[in-house]
Amino acid sequence: MRQDSHRFLVAYDIPDDRRRSHMAIALKRFGLRVQYSVFMVDCSPSHVLVLQRELEDIMDRDQDSVLVSDLGLSKTADARAMTWLGHSRYIVGDGTMIV
């Protein structure tokens, strides 16, 4: 992971099944699905713009809602910015997958 990598959460509301699955397929190339319509992406602030343009090509701007949230530096995000209640399924800083 790059030192300047930020942790982004991408949450989406997309009523259309086909677009919603295209969104998930695209996001899987950038990060990890942590909830049904929430992905976690670790990348540089500049690279997230590439992701956003790709998502804009997929979505319908009038019907769909995508929120990209910047949680700050990836290396401190787990401890500083993310609290899981119940089960979570993603990789914490040391590479352990929690299912």
Among 2, 25, 28, 88, binds its own copies (CB under 8 A): 88
Q: Is 52 in the site for its own copies (CB under 8 A)?
A: yes
C-alpha of 29 from chain center: 10
3-state class of 65 per DSSP? strand
Backbone angles phi, psi at 47, to 5 degrees: -70, -25
Q: In the bound complex, what is the minimum distance in angstroms from residue 47's beta carbon to its own copies?
A: 14
Residue type, 94: D
| Cα–Cα dist 80/13, whole Å | 26
Closest CB to its own copies among 62 and 94?
A: 62
Q: Is 27 in the site for its own copies (CB under 8 A)?
A: no
Please report, as ranges, the residues that interact with its own copies according to CB under 8 A: 9, 11-13, 34-38, 52, 55-56, 59-72, 80-89
